[in-house]
């Protein structure tokens, strides 16, 4: 079956005063209908740029889509005219943004914002919209939604607003939701509630979910497959079980070892040494090479591309066989 979303060879650059920055470097991905794909990586690895490119929300300029395809449901979003994109956004495609405190417009009631997409896409009238808003708020677990639908964002807590943002994403009955760090700005206890809610809703509706996170633990709990991003590239991609048991990229191992464990104590925490590279001046070789424990001299000079080392398991490492030694 053809995947719902298939990204091939996507290259996105930013023009800045300091020169051109390759924000997405030959990115490839597939998402099956109903699947959850986790995308992990440090800040600046290109996760958010990827989400915005899929929705075509990147401001161009400064961004520039240099190549590739983003096939969604049989249609290349990079070729789609703006009118078609507007039609897809808020219906088949939805986004959940990172910070609930700023995701809703402070001057309009919450219910109004949740169903605005539906009203604009001409599907329902005002009265029907209010009813739908109440239903959606009930679905995301807001108590007595009929009383709260007309309230304003500042009257709600961060966790509740994030539920409202999720309700907003659900409104159009999407086939794919892009959740860009949906829990990062929330308290730990609320984080788990929101993740559980997302997975419940996904199970109920059969939509696919792309869950972006910098937190390996969040992805481990929720995703069917995981893509690891570094310096604008996909460096490893596999199903969740494989990637945790048999990682084949040293950066993936580094991310896993920076998850704190209860039994380990602070001594077991092994941060990745060094800083992510500046995207403005990357050498010809592997971008992770300066921080890598198993790098060889040729890593700095030989260009690396992701290779399918086992069915469905991709790694962009010259020496994937050395990675096991790091565990």
Residue ranges binding another protein (CB under 8 A) = 52, 55, 57, 85-91, 94-95, 97-99, 102-108, 116-117, 120-121, 152, 154-155, 165, 168, 172
Nearest one of 136, 54, 60, 153 to 99, comparing CA atoms = 153
Q: Which is nearer to another protein, 172 or 232 (CB)?
A: 172
For residues 179 and 96, the answer to whether their CB atoms sit within 8 Å is yes
Q: Which is nearer to another protein, 26 or 123 (CB)?
A: 123
Q: Which is nearer to another protein, 5 or 216 (CB)?
A: 5
Q: Which is nearer to another protein, 145 or 153 (CB)?
A: 153
CB of 120 to another protein, least distance (A): 6
CB of 40 to another protein, least distance (A): 22
Q: Which is nearer to another protein, 6 or 161 (CB)?
A: 161
Coil/strand/helix, residue 267: helix
CB of 108 to another protein, least distance (A): 8
Chain centroid offset of residue 319 CA: 27
Q: Which is nearer to another protein, 101 or 310 (CB)?
A: 101
CB of 48 to another protein, least distance (A): 11
Q: Cβ neighbours of residue 44 under 8 Å, at least 6 residues apart?
A: 276, 279
Q: Cβ neighbours of residue 126 under 8 Å, at least 6 residues apart?
A: 119
CB of 165 to another protein, least distance (A): 7
Long-range Cβ pairs for the range 8-11 (8 Å, 24+):
8/68, 8/69, 8/71, 9/67, 9/68, 9/69, 10/50, 10/53, 10/65, 10/67, 10/68, 10/69, 10/70, 11/65, 11/66, 11/67, 11/68
Q: Cβ neighbours of residue 79 under 8 Å, at least 6 residues apart?
A: none
CB of 152 to another protein, least distance (A): 5
CB of 57 to another protein, least distance (A): 6
CA distance 322 to 57: 39
Q: Which is nearer to another protein, 80 or 259 (CB)?
A: 80
Coil/strand/helix, residue 63: strand
For residues 29 and 37, the answer to whether their CB atoms sit within 8 Å is yes
- Do strands 313-315 and 307-310 pair parallel, antiparallel, or not at all (unpaired)? antiparallel
CB of 121 to another protein, least distance (A): 6
Q: Which is nearer to another protein, 106 or 206 (CB)?
A: 106
């Amino acid at each position: 079956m053809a995947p719902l979303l298939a990204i091939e060879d996507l290259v996105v650059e930013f023009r800045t005063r300091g020169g051109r920055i390759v924000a997405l470097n030959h990115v490839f991905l597939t998402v099956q209908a109903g699947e959850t794909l986790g995308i992990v990586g440090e800040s600046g690895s290109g996760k958010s740029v990827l989400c915005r490119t899929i929705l075509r929300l990147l401001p161009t300029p400064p961004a520039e889509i240099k190549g590739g395809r983003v096939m969604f449901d049989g249609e290349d979003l990079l070729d789609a005219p703006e009118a078609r994109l507007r039609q897809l956004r808020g219906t088949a495609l939805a986004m959940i943004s990172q910070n609930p405190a700023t995701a809703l417009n402070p001057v309009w009631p919450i219910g109004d914002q949740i169903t605005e997409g539906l009203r604009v896409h001409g599907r329902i009238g005002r009265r029907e919209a209010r009813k739908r808003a109440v239903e959606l708020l009930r679905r995301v677990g807001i108590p007595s939604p009929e009383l709260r639908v007309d309230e304003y964002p500042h009257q709600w807590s961060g966790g509740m607003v994030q539920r409202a943002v999720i309700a907003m994403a659900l409104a159009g009955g999407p086939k794919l939701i892009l959740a860009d760090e949906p829990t990062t700005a929330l308290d730990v206890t609320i984080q788990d509630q929101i993740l559980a809610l997302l997975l419940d809703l996904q199970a109920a509706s059969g939509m696919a979910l792309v869950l972006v996170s910098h937190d390996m633990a969040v992805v481990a709990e929720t995703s069917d497959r995981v893509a690891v991003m570094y310096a604008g590239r996909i460096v490893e991609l596999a199903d969740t079980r494989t990637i945790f048991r048999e990682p084949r990229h040293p950066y993936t191992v580094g991310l896993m070892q920076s998850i704190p464990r209860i039994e380990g104590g602070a001594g077991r925490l092994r941060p990745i040494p060094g800083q992510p590279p500046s995207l403005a001046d990357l050498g010809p070789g592997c971008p992770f090479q300066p921080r890598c424990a198993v790098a060889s001299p040729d890593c700095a000079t030989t260009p690396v591309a992701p290779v399918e080392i086992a069915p469905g398991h991709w790694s962009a490492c010259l020496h994937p066989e050395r990675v096991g030694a790091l565990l």
